[in-house]
Structure 1
Amino acid sequence: MSRRRGLLSRPLTSALTAVALAATGTLALHAAPARAASCYGYVGLTFDDGPSGNTTALLNALGQNGLRATMFNEGRYAAAYPAQVRAEVAAGMWVGDHSYTHPHLTRLGQAQIDSEISRTQQAIAAAGGGTPRLFRPPYGETNATLKAVEAKYGLREIIWDVDSQDWNGASTDAIVAAAGRLTNGQIILMHDWPANTVAAVPRIAQQLASRGLCAGMISPQTGRAVAPA
């Protein structure tokens, strides 16, 4: 499952830019032109690697299309851009833990894994994102040592059923097509930073609505997408 999605080549956006974007962005959570009239099932939309200078655009797209999602934030970015974490919560999103520096956790010892998770829990809480109950391991890599640390912090490990490949330069059409494979309870992997992902959001919303599917929350009990509480 090892894969790279361009994080190391992506420079950190300045905190001033991120705050300015958060201040000028207009969230439209109540506008839902593509919402299904009836929800016959729920899917989990997830976005890894935020928050970033692209978060405001992503939140706007989600809000304008009546979608909620789980944002798996990296601790280092939550600490750098706390206003963006607060914006995620204000927009109705759920915030999960995605480690502090996005390492290959299965190559680390238990103490290092613990540090990656605990620092992220603290950074997200300090930024106003609450205490995460969901954890997405970088690269989808897991083992017994990692699972033991997750259990220590009461975290449910969340992988995915569908990989949008947006981290690998997938086109907007390809991202929309990937979302079209989702069925009730399933979860799709997307990312906070690709422009093509933001562009795909309106079409994903329309497609889900046409199939009677709604964007749901991921249950900490089952790890599946369910109706929002």
Structure 2
Amino acid sequence: MLISSSLLLFSVALKANAATITTSSYLAQVSPVFPSKIPTPSGVVTSYQDGPYDTVSSLDTTPLEGFPTTWAIPPTDSDEVQTIYNSINWNKVPSAPVRKIKSDGSFSPNSDGSSDPYCYWSDTNCVKPKASYLPPDLYECPKKGDWGLTYDDGPFNKVSTSESYASLENPYAEPALYNFLGRKNLHASLFYIGSSVVNYPAAARLALNNGHSLCVHTWSHNPMTTLTNAEIVAELYWGIKAIKTATGVTPKCWRPPQGDVDDRVRSIAWQMGMRTVLWNEDTNDWDMPDPMNGGNLPPKTVDGYFQSWINAQKAGTLKTGILVLEHELNHMTVNMSMYWLPKLQSTFNVVSALECNGISQPYWETNFVYPVSDGTTTTTTTTTTKATTSTTTSATPTSSPTCTSGSFGLENGDGYNGYCCETQADCIDDCISGKCNGPSNTKTTSTTKTTTTKTTSTGASSSCVAGYRGKRKGNGPTGACCSSSDDCIETCRKGICGL
């Protein structure tokens, strides 16, 4: 999947130290140039560092300065954007139409016809550009058994404590996911929104320090084919510069929001130094119900996706590896990923999306050289798998012989942090390697045992909605009576459906 290329100095009006990639068939690719000087960041590595990694309890929340308004399409008339705009060979940018946003602000892709002249992914899932001078998108792990781990929309910022959902979301904001991955020495390709990086640059630095590959996900997360050429340049430029300012690296990779890309957008991104990365499997985790982002997809449906991929891998029916779309968007998406990763590790070779595609240098800074996948499915996670198995037998995981009894296998959803668990239904939050994570127990042991008795179900009937308990239809709304999570859209907590 690597493009055969050579690095040479490119000395024209752009800058004397810019690098150019040339091939026999692809358009010359120029490293991004920043018209204004970017200070060298501190507290960040200058080359790839393998794990294991230290975890951190908190991160500095000081934002970057000197950037456009966050979460809005940047102005196109700034000197910086105009410099980049004028460096692009517009004769090599296909004249695909600017797509339309509906009056209500939503985006629904149209069609360019059966010939699909602009390789419009949103309509046809096309990943091989019709413009012969552009490389194909990266969208799968070529080798069977590889699981290409990616997360969009990060870094996950903490929300203001004035928000009603802050206590629910903030425990899952960074560094939560990066700590989790660091403890397991796992790496992901992270597709960052520039606005999120500017607001939380310390999280981006932690990700780079922990061996993740950083890629661009635009500045404000708008569908790219709905933007003018100048707006596309502005979105990509400020997304690149945010990562460069925070971490010191200049990504060669990007992913379009919603996968919305055609050859017009691809050419602009390629000429700005980045190759397009998509996916071949989608968790749709972004659509799970969450007070911060909304959503309607039952978590059990997402669970089903993960289980189906595991089943297919075990059955030998997958033709390639999987490059999956996940998000570090809210507590639901992060929790879901934490729950499934140990199970995926026992079945797949979990690596970053760039690693499984043989991309060893994801930045224009050549001092970063990452490992690449050898295609084997050998993992170092058998200890985790055995721990889960032994928990099922004895309620005492071998990885931690000190888990607390009282919740294992009861599906009461009341297991505090450190309690033994068989499945997620045993815990207030999640079951990881045979132990609940989430909030700690502030009650006495005897009080905890009392709450796991059947009195919960009778007491709940007076304060929950009847008609769902024991039906196992997965349709119980928040507040419905339940005996297990199979009764609920989300999860059964102490006899009542909810988050």
Which TM-score band (shorter chain)? 0.7 to 0.9
TM-score normalised over the length of structure 1? 0.74
- Does 2:218 align with 1:114? no
**Amino acid in structure 2 at the alignment position of 1:178:** Y
CA distance in 1, matches of 2:348, 2:199: 38
Post-superposition shift, 1:139?
A: 0.9
1:192 aligns with 2:328: yes
Deviates more, 1:188-197 or 1:177-186: 177-186
Aligned position for 2:345:
209
Aligned to 2:244: 125
1:25-104 alignment runs, 5 A limit: 41-51=145-155, 52-53=157-158, 54-104=173-223
Deviations 1:37-83 (CA, angstroms, capped at 9, x unpaired): xx973221111111122121111222223321111101111122111
Structure 2: state its 5+ residue gaps. Answer: 1-55, 61-142, 159-172, 289-296, 311-317, 360-371, 375-499
The aligned counterpart of 1:137 is 256
- C-alpha deviation, 1:171, in angstroms: 5.4
Aligned counterpart, 1:3: none
- CA deviations over 1:87-132 (Å, ceiling 9, x no partner): 1111211111000001111011111101100111111011005111
Could you say which residue in structure 1 is the equivalent of 2:279? Answer: 160
* Cα distance, 1:175 vs structure 2: 3.8
Following superposition, the deviation at residue 216 of structure 1 comes to 3.1
1:214 corresponds to which letter in structure 2?
A: V
| 2:144–2:321 Cα contact (<8 Å) kept | no
- The structure with the greater share of residues assigned to helix is 1
CA pair 46-129 structure 1, distance change in 2 beyond 3 A: farther
Q: Secondary structure at the match of 1:55?
A: coil
Paired residue type of 2:352: G
Once the two structures are TM-superposed, the CA of residue 227 in structure 1 deviates from its matched residue by 1.4
Residue 62 of structure 1 contacts residue 201 of structure 1 at CA under 8 Å; is this kept in 2? no
Q: Which is greater in Rg? A: 2
Assess if the C-alpha contact under 8 Å between 2:153 and 2:192 holds in 1.
Answer: yes
Cα distance in 1 for partners of 2:349, 2:188 equals: 14
Aligned partners of 2:322, 2:243: CA distance in 1, in Å?
Answer: 25
* TM-aligned CA distance change 1:71 to 1:123, over 3 Å: same
User: Quick one: structure 1 residues 211 and 88, their matched pair in 2 at CA, closer, same or farther if it must change by over 3 Å?
Assistant: same
Counterparts of 1:102 and 1:74, CA distance in 2: 7
C-alpha change, 1:132 and 1:206, in structure 2 (3 Å) is same
Could you say which structure has the greater relative contact order, defined with CA pairs below 8 angstroms and 6 or more residues apart? Answer: 1
Q: Which residue of 1 aligns with 2:373?
A: 227
- Describe the shift of the 1:212–1:77 C-alpha distance in structure 2 as closer, same or farther (beyond 3 A): closer
- Partner of residue 4, structure 1: none
Cα displacement (A) at 1:194: 2.3
Shift of 1:193: 2.0
1:11 corresponding residue in structure 2: none
Q: For the residues of structure 2 that align with 1:120 and 1:227, how far apart are their CA atoms?
A: 28
Are the structure 2 counterparts of residues 175 and 60 from structure 1 closer, same or farther at C-alpha, using a change threshold of 3 Å? farther
Structure 2-normalised TM-score? 0.36
Identity of aligned residues (%): 28
C-alpha distance in structure 1 between counterparts of 2:197 and 2:280, whole Å: 26
Aligned residues: CA RMSD? 2.7
Structure 1: runs of 5 or more not aligned: 1-18, 24-38
SS at match of 1:21: coil
Distance in 1, Cα, partners of 2:285 & 2:191: 15
